[in-house]
Amino acid sequence: MRPLTPADLNPAILNVQYAVRGELAIKAEEFRDKLQSPGHNLPFTKVISSNIGNPQQKGLDQAPITFTRQVAALMEYPPLIELVSGKWPQDVIDRAKELQTEIGSIGAYSHSKGVPLIRKHVAKFIEERDGYPSDPEDIFLTAGASAGVSLLLNVLITPPTTGILIPIPQYPLYTATLAQFSGIPLPYHLSEPNGWSTSLREIEAALAKAEKEGIKPRALVVINPGNPTGALLDVPTMEALVKLCEEHSLVLLADEVYQTNLHRPTDHPFHSFKQVVRRLGSPVPLVSFHSISKGVKGECGRRGGYFEATNLSNEVRALLYKMPGDASYPLWKSETDTIHAALAHRTQLMAARLNALPGVSCVDSPGALYLYPKLELPDKAVEEAERLGKSPDTLYALELLHETGICVVPGSGFGQKEGEHHYRLTCLCPGVEEYVGALENFHRKFLKKYE
Amino acid sequence: MRPLTPADLNPAILNVQYAVRGELAIKAEEFRDKLQSPGHNLPFTKVISSNIGNPQQKGLDQAPITFTRQVAALMEYPPLIELVSGKWPQDVIDRAKELQTEIGSIGAYSHSKGVPLIRKHVAKFIEERDGYPSDPEDIFLTAGASAGVSLLLNVLITPPTTGILIPIPQYPLYTATLAQFSGIPLPYHLSEPNGWSTSLREIEAALAKAEKEGIKPRALVVINPGNPTGALLDVPTMEALVKLCEEHSLVLLADEVYQTNLHRPTDHPFHSFKQVVRRLGSPVPLVSFHSISKGVKGECGRRGGYFEATNLSNEVRALLYKMPGDASYPLWKSETDTIHAALAHRTQLMAARLNALPGVSCVDSPGALYLYPKLELPDKAVEEAERLGKSPDTLYALELLHETGICVVPGSGFGQKEGEHHYRLTCLCPGVEEYVGALENFHRKFLKKYE
């Protein structure tokens, strides 16, 4: 066996640099440990982490917002409502009930784009902020803003020629993610003498340089308010940036996670790019990122955020939706051995009954949550599937769904040998008799239809 | 402006297919909506989602484990402890207190690899399962098993020649993630006549084919218990697979998320690859994935999991650790306008005092959480940094940390013009006077040292 070395790994990963968690942060941890030991001889008594704004960390201990956390506690453990009724504010209880009705258990997979009610709430917030409509279908909930940025850069970058315009200085998330996805950073410098303002000339120079080098610029990253600069864009600059994106067919990636962190809102108000794009009636594809880690929430450990995709075609939006970032696994859960036994029994029973059907053979699986029966399908069914441009097991599964409401996964999604047909079904359904009965009836009708 | 079309996007993304959430799932949603309208004319009264094992979803409504959720509720809102004392079991309260002491607020960023105490608990679980030691430093907590698989495949794949051996049938996470990172799937077929068993001959055939085509095999994916097959590997097969990985220098990726979903544990027990690798004394790099979505937890909506990296060098392990998947943002949080005002005041005060220092100029930022002062450093400091192979602002930041315990981020991590030096500090610290005083003293001493 040859040992695995960094040279065996993706070279793009070796380029990932993440200053916020680099040498200094590691050293700081060492000092924090050293301070515990008596006679440590260090010239200070505590380490102050000014590298990461992490207000709820130990030592800072900023309290989270009570309302948010009380609602969250009720979502974790719904029976708690009885205990706190009359003790916690009624609006906490009302909000939890509204969410529980909509979501059910927070332990369940939700829609890939996020819970519809929460996306509606986000759209309402955006409408009130901007004075322009926001469509909940344009909102994607993400695990923090970083997850959204990572998804968008992954989709927008076609290695090795895609360039992304990024401000300098920038938050290193951008250079790190560009390295990860082999995108080329096209840096434009912010003007420190003008309070870290954004200069169109700098961006145009970066675009000209890219063209000379055969790099295709695909998107412009703007961080507003700035990180690490804290600068705020004014409206004329924002309008000019939008027009520049139009001219060069760039996607505008607006990192607006600090939008409520304003120290002098009267003379330095925040304007969203969404508002500017709408007011100009611009067709520029815009993705605006926001986060629960910033502003008045500060819930960085919770990993929550959204992005709003404006002026993206349905086709492009659908590609964001089917990415595996929000992958959805099948699963099983049981609190006791009783449930284990019940599932084992149900699996065996279902396998036996499926095996009794003509043209069905099914391995009686000893583990996991599924059966994966093999189907011998009539030639006519195979021909009909070919005519429709579908795999035969997709035809079978579609008809099953249409007839019975039972949604399974065709074997073609998992991979199978040429000419074979399977489908996967879970053994989690309630009411085995009704469920398997429906499967049996459907199967017999299907065979008859295509015999 | 040329509109953005799928042709403009990363072609790897267009190849991402995700059967579990494909055409069928979308159709099922349509039917679910249609069933709400009277006179819908559908031949069934409810849609049953057998495509995704999602036990806590509406309609199945399996209750989550009470212990877990009571602890989670207390982590959300620690003052709740007073309300539930004497009403909830003492071990719930003890566990919550232990975690609160260790973690502090769950709204804070944690260690990139996950909370140390939880990694210790995971290592203990593995030791008890296998009878071999497990090092908490080998444990990485992830947002579900998918996030871990995605990270590993991203690191292991160097496009365009890296091949990954995957079973057929397989859970489509693997083909989707391979498409995303431009890895080449090297399929090996499981043997349905032998209860979906794994055949060494099939894998060797796939390796031979890869070699002929100039593809470099880097890893072997094994799903045990199988998805979608539910099959369980026996020990002789596992040993043979480990030896095969040794022979071909492959990383073994063991998807073991269904390890507690055993229907007939007496004749089909689960054995972990970790146990087999240790018993053989094998040097094979092994990554084993687990998840809170499966087994007796079923908390799929919560996105929790871990991977254990066995036989990976410290160097390679460090690369996993610095990936931006666990990216850490600076942030600020405030519950009221009072806090906004306090931050604004503190930022202004700090900027004024930094600007009063010789060789420091600092834009007084109107937003976000930071100041980003520029430093004019003495030539001798620049020379000393060169001698040490560091950027001058890294030298400055390191000495600042050593002297004062204040950890900031050097400007070189964000990007800056040639010859300029900056650092970023947050304005979140408690005790401005002491903090800024320490910065001022250090700066003056630094200038004197290198003058």
- Residue A99 CA to residue A101 CA, distance in Å, equals 5
d(CA B223, CA B278): 19
Q: Which residues of B46-66 are buried (b: 16+ CB within 10 A; e: fewer)?
A: ebbbbbbbbbbbeebebebbe
Residue B53 lies in a domain: no
Q: To probe the interface with A, which of B16, B244, B365 has the most A CB atoms within 10 Å?
A: B365
User: Does the beta-carbon distance from B347 to A263 stay under 8 Å?
Assistant: yes
Mode of pairing for the β-strands spanning A406-407 and A409-410: unpaired
Q: Does A270 touch chain B (CB under 8 A)?
A: yes
Tokens of A147: 């997850």
Burial class, B243, CB count within 10 angstroms (exposed 0-12 / middle 13-18 / buried 19+): middle
Q: Are A316 and A368 part of one and the same domain?
A: no
Helical packing angle, A392-404 and A432-450, nearest 10°: 130
Is the same domain home to A222 and A289? Answer: yes
Mutating which of B111, B244, B263 best tests the A interface, going by the most A Cβ atoms within 10 A?
B263
* Residue B400 forms contact with A (CB below 8 Å): no
Task: Identify all chain A residues contacting B105, using CB atoms and an 8 Å cutoff.
Answer: 56-57, 61, 64, 301
- Do A341 and A425 fall within a single domain? yes
CA distances from B45 to A104, B59, B411 (A): 20, 13, 62
Contacts of A233 (CB under 8 A, 6+ apart): A197, A198, A222, A224, A241, A271
Distance separating alpha carbons of residues A410 and A422, to the nearest angstrom: 6
Instruction: Please state, rounded to an integer, the average pLDDT across all residues of chain A.
Output: 84
Between β-strands A374-375 and A360-361, what pairing exists: parallel, antiparallel or unpaired? antiparallel
In angstroms, rounded to a whole number, what is the distance separating the alpha carbons of residues A329 and B17?
14
Task: Considering only residues B336 and A248, tell me which one the structure prediction assigns the higher pLDDT.
Answer: A248
What's A421's domain CATH number?
3.90.1150.10
> Could you tell me if B416 and B422 are in contact, meaning their C-beta atoms sit under 8 angstroms apart?
yes
Class of residue A127 by CB neighbours under 10 A (exposed 0-12, middle 13-18, buried 19+):
middle
In the prediction, which pLDDT does B328 show?
A: 21
Same domain, A296 and A211: yes
Inter-chain CB proximity A406 and B5 less than 8 Å: no
Which of A326, A347, A375 delimits the end of a domain? A326
pLDDT value for B430: 59
Whether residues A168 and B414 touch (CB distance < 8 A) is answered with yes
In 3D, which of B192, B188, B218 has the Cα closest to residue B203?
Answer: B188
Tokens read off for A45: 């008594």
The whole-angstrom separation of Cα A170 and Cα A181 is 18
Domain boundary among B298, B326, B354: B326
Please tell me the distance in Å from A132's CA to the nearest CA on chain B: 22
Could you tell me if A305 and A341 lie in one domain? no
Q: What angle do CA B177, B182, B188 make, to 5 degrees?
A: 65
In a domain, A353, yes or no: yes
Query: Does some domain include residue B278?
Result: yes
* pLDDT of the residue at A72: 93
Residues A260 and A149 grouped into a single domain: yes
Is the distance from CB of A82 to CB of A97 less than 8 angstroms? no
Quick check: is B51 in a domain?
Answer: no
Does the residue B127 lie in any domain? yes
List the 27-66 stretch of A: residues with Cβ below 8 A of B: 27-28, 31, 42-66
Is B13 part of a structural domain of the chain? Answer: no
A304 and A205: one domain?
Answer: yes
* Residue (of B446, B373, B376, B363) closest to B414 by Cα position: B373
Question: Residue A56: which of B105, B158, B410 has the nearest Cβ?
Answer: B105
Q: Inform me whether the C-beta atom of residue B93 falls under 8 Å from chain A C-beta atoms.
A: no
CA atoms in the 13 A half-sphere facing the CB of B12: 24
Measured distance CA(B439)–CA(A171) in Å, rounded: 23
Identify whether residues B435 and B308 lie together within a single domain.
Answer: no
pLDDT score, position A341: 63
Mean pLDDT of A170-177: 83
Residue B185 resides in a domain: yes
Q: List B262's β-bridge partners, or say none.
A: A367
Using CB atoms, pick whichever of A73, A192, A415 lies closest to residue B374: A192
Instruction: Tell whether B221 lies on the interface with A, counting CB pairs under 8 A.
Output: no
CA distances from B322 to A21, A25, A295, B285, B361 (A): 8, 12, 26, 19, 32
The domain that contains A247 carries what CATH number?
3.40.640.10
Interface test with B, best of A68, A331, A348 (most B CBs within 10 A): A331
A2, A389, B254, B383, B391 from B387: Cα distances, Å: 37, 67, 46, 6, 10
Report the alpha-carbon distance of residue A342 to residue A298 in Å, rounded: 44
**B23 membership: H or E segment, kind and range:** helix B23-36
Q: Output the pLDDT for position B60.
A: 59
Let me know whether B297 and B372 are in one domain. Answer: no
Q: Give me the pLDDT at residue A61, please.
A: 63
Helix ranges, B104-234 (H): 116-130, 144-156, 173-180, 200-212
Please give the structure tokens belonging to residue B212: 């002929």
Q: What is the pLDDT of residue B27?
A: 75
Q: Are residues B280 and B341 in the same domain?
A: no
Predicted pLDDT of residue A23? 63
Q: For each of chain B's 451 residues, which pLDDT tens digit applies? A: 787 787 777 777 766 655 455 566 667 778 888 888 888 888 877 777 666 656 677 665 667 777 888 899 999 999 999 999 989 888 889 999 999 999 888 988 887 788 899 999 999 999 999 999 999 999 999 988 999 999 999 889 988 899 999 998 877 788 888 988 889 999 998 888 888 899 999 999 999 999 999 999 999 999 998 887 778 899 999 999 999 999 999 999 999 998 877 667 777 889 999 999 999 999 999 999 999 887 656 787 888 899 999 999 887 887 776 554 322 222 222 233 455 566 677 778 888 899 999 999 887 766 556 778 889 999 999 999 999 988 999 899 888 888 888 888 888 777 777 888 988 887 766 567 778 888 899 999 999 999 8
The total number of structural domains that make up chain B:
2
Q: Is the pLDDT of residue A346 over 80?
A: no
Which residues of chain A make contact with B412, given a CB cutoff of 8 A? 19
Within a domain: A83: no
Given a cut of 50, whether residue A145 has pLDDT beyond it is yes
Q: How many helices (H) and strands (E) does chain A have?
A: 16, 14
The reply to whether A173 and A283 lie within a common domain is yes
Domain span holding position B384: 337-450
What the block records as the tokens of A336 is 């006791």
Mutate to test the interface with A, among B54, B142, B282, B291 (most CBs of A within 10 A): B54
How many Å apart are CA A420 and CA A375, to the nearest integer? 7
Whether residue A213 is found in the same domain as residue A285 = yes
B308, A154 contact by CB (below 8 A):
no
Q: Does A211 touch chain B (CB under 8 A)?
A: no
Chain A residue closest in CA terms to B431: A60
List pLDDT tens digits, range A29-67: 788 888 888 888 888 787 776 666 666 776 656 677 778
Q: Which residue has the higher pLDDT, A155 or B286?
A: B286
Question: Which candidate, B264, B222, B262, places its Cα nearest to that of B239?
Answer: B222
Q: Do B396 and B410 touch, CB atoms closer than 8 A? A: yes
Chain-chain contact of B428 with A50 (C-beta, under 8 angstroms): yes
Q: Select from B303, B326, B349 the last residue of a domain.
A: B326
Cβ distance of B258 and A369 shorter than 8 Å: yes
CB contact under 8 A, A23 and B394: yes
Instruction: Name the residue among B140, B314, B58 with its Cα closest to residue A115.
Output: B58
